[in-house]
Amino acid sequence: MPIEISPSPENPHRFQRRGFSCERAIKYFFASNAGLTLVILLLIIVFLLKEGLGFFPGYRRELEIYRIAGLEFVDISRKNLTAHEQLSSVLNRAYFAQINGQCARELKRSQEAAAVFNAFSDQTSATRELIANHEATGMDRGSEMLATLNNNHACQKQKALDSLPLTPHLSDTERAELIESIRARDVTTVGDPPLVTALAQQYASAQQQCAMPIAEWRSVIDSFEAAGADLSALVTEMTDAVTTTKEAIQNNDILENDRKSLLAAAANAKDPSERQKLMAEARDSLAEKPDIEGPMQSLMLRKPDCIATHAALRQACEGILAMLPPSLSQSDANRLLLAARKASPLFLEALTGTSQQITQWRHDKPVPLSDSIRSFLTGKDWVTGGAWQDFYGILPLLAGSLMISMVALCLAIPAGVGAAIYINQFASPVEQAVVKPVIEFIAAIPSVVLGFIGILIFGTILRDLSQLDGLAWVPGFPIEERLNIFTAGCLLALMSIPTIFSLAEDALNNVPAAFSEASDALGASRIQTTFRVIIPAAFSGILAAVLLGLGRVIGETMVVLLVAGNRIKIPDFSAGLGTFFQPSHTLTGIIAQELGEVPLGSVHYRALFVVGILLFAVVLGINATAHKFVNRTTN
């Protein structure tokens, strides 16, 4: 029950508050600081939503144009054409893998000899050309200039000869012979050293020899490639037609928008004459409705043509694919062949289904808003800035982000939590004093600098290592791309280890000493106390540490942009562990890379904001979960 307050007397009681005290001012100052952070967070959310939510209607209109202009129709055929091209590329790769695998020795010998000679030429050719030029211009043979150049050339030659690359596949005599022939060269010698030429010839003849027994197969591949020609011609022809329609519709959209803003300006204008002028301008800019129906009619006339071409392609391919050899002797080639065998029934099935798809396709089927949301969330393509059609599908980016985080966590959890357990439970005070600051220092390294380390160590050196013959048994080796998911994962692991370590160590530290004392008093050894009492008690804290580490990993931008390889494609999971050595792009990376280049307010610009919203939601979720676990520990 509130106490009734009597009107304030002239001289208040000394218990009553008077005026505005300094203490209250200080309190309000701090309250406003705390309030500011809330306001900023609110602003971030509001602006993200404001910019992002406009994406879906815009994208819907793009998808609508995609349909009414007929691009979608052409893409039905184009999809099959791409599948056909991919399949023939796989077959070709298998073919060459087989040949190169069989004459790997010749290939390596030839490459090594050429590498030695190239290393030599790279260092000496500049001076050599200078000398040649001088002689061509008829300079005095005894001139001082020429003497200096000749001297330089000799020095460079010696230096180059001292630092030639290794040649593990050449015998010592061959290497000596090669070096001798290089040493014997003077300024005027042209052509390759005899050994280089000989080895190249050996390689070429070995290639021919290996190709002989599989010549039949070559013709199978060639006929498969040729079978796609009709479809290719058809797609090209239709592409031109629909692109014109699309441009017309887009231009009309732009004019229409202009007209609307003119009308809006006219409605707001105060001066009647001004208004008249704006209205007239708007009337003038009334564009003619572009002709959609005409081109569409002619496109629809191609339907039977399309169906016939597909049926023909299917028939041809079915026969050809049945002639593939059952297996190949080289493991790489065999893997590719198996991939092709696995893909071919799917390809044929897709071809079969196409005719129905083509018959059922209608250009006037409406595109609801939910289509644009679905296309964003489940789209497998993120294609932007292309002449054909932009797609904003989140899956390739999400897959990249998740796989990189997975690699990072797989490495960082054992390292971070393990280090925390060791430092907290087993380390001597000296070790503690050294290791803790060092690990925490890693967090202070700017991520761009870490990126350099990543490119150099995890990228270049790892790739070079993976190409050693002795390491070929490691799954995923040899690595083709220097910058890939694994590289980025390693670096992110390095970045998240300090977070995980510090928080996990805190969690272990917060376990009351009474627990370990009780455990000791019951006769537990150090290891038993650690694993049976301390870690279970700190478990939720450790989990929270891992989650906060994950939040750091998902949100990290600079490192992934530098070292993830930035290829926007869902990784090819058929490669097994090799999947982790493919380049990829991420949610954060795409925003950083593209936001500076897109036109303000365009659909692409808004798409990046939606990616930002998604990222924001994911990190918020992770942090909220982590917070829950932290609370559970402290209670």
CA distance linking residue 202 with residue 324, whole number of Å: 29
Q: Which of 27, 260, 532, 628 binds another protein (CB under 8 A)?
A: 532
Task: Give 258 or 520: the residue with its C-beta nearer to another protein.
Answer: 520
Give me the 485-524 binding string for another protein, x by CB under 8 A, dash otherwise: ---------------------------x-xxxxxxxxxxx
Which amino acid does the sequence have at 410?
Answer: C
SS3 for 39-61, per residue?
Answer: HHHHHHHHHHHHHHHCHHHHHHH
Closest CB 436 distance from another protein, rounded Å: 18
Contact 632, 626 (CB under 8 A): no
- Near another protein by CB under 8 A: residue from 94, 317, 488, 533: 533
For position 431 contacting another protein by CB under 8 A, the verdict is no
Tell me, residue by residue from 253 to 282, as one string, x for binding to another protein by CB under 8 A and - for no binding. Answer: ------------------------------
Nearer to another protein, 68 or 533 (CB): 533
Beta-strand relationship, 391-392 and 382-383: antiparallel
| 537 touches another protein (CB under 8 A) | yes
CB burial of 388-408 (b: ≥16 within 10 Å; e: otherwise) equals ebbbbbbebbbbbbebbbebb
Residue 336 token pair: 């590719």
Least gap, CB of 534 to another protein (angstroms): 10
Report whether 417 contacts 508 (CB < 8 A): no
Residues 44, 619 contacting (CB under 8 angstroms): no
Q: Which is nearer to another protein, 68 or 543 (CB)?
A: 543
**CB of residue 624 to another protein, shortest distance in Å:** 24
Q: How far is the CB of 630 from another protein (least distance, A)?
A: 16
Reference 169, options 98, 104, 97; nearest CA is 104
Part in contact with another protein (CB under 8 A); list of ranges 129-137, 295-303, 529-537, 610-618: 529-537
Q: Whole-number minimum distance, CB 523 to another protein, in Å?
A: 4
Judged by CB under 8 A, does residue 433 bind another protein?
no
Tokens 């925003």, located at residue = 591
Q: Which position among 525, 620, 621, 628 is part of the footprint of another protein (CB under 8 A)?
A: 525
Q: Which residues pair with 382 in a beta bridge?
A: 392
Which one of 194, 368, 475, 536 is in contact with another protein (CB under 8 A)?
A: 536
Instruction: Return the beta strands (E) in 354-405 as ranges.
Output: 382-383, 391-392
Residue nearer to another protein on the CB measure, 50 or 532: 532
How many Å separate Cα 537 from the centre of its chain? 40
Task: Compare residues 19 and 523 and give the one whose CB is closer to another protein.
Answer: 523
CA 440, CA 503: separation in Å to the nearest integer? 11
Compare residues 377 and 522 and give the one whose CB is closer to another protein: 522
Tokens 């791309």 belong to residue:
481
443-462 positions binding another protein, by CB under 8 A: none
Which residue, 468 or 518, has its beta carbon nearer to another protein?
Answer: 518
| φ, ψ dihedrals at 391, nearest 5° | -125, 140
Provide the minimum distance between the beta carbon of 524 and another protein in the complex, in angstroms, as a whole number. 5
Using CB under 8 A, count the residues that bind another protein. 18
285 phi/psi in degrees, rounded to 5: -80, 5
Helix (H) or strand (E) holding 317: helix 303-321
| Nearer to another protein (CB atom), residue 299 or residue 538 | 538
Q: Are 456 and 490 in contact (CB under 8 A)?
A: no
Cβ closer to another protein: 430 or 600? 430
Q: Which positions lie near another protein, rule CB under 8 A?
A: 512, 514-525, 528, 532-533, 536-537
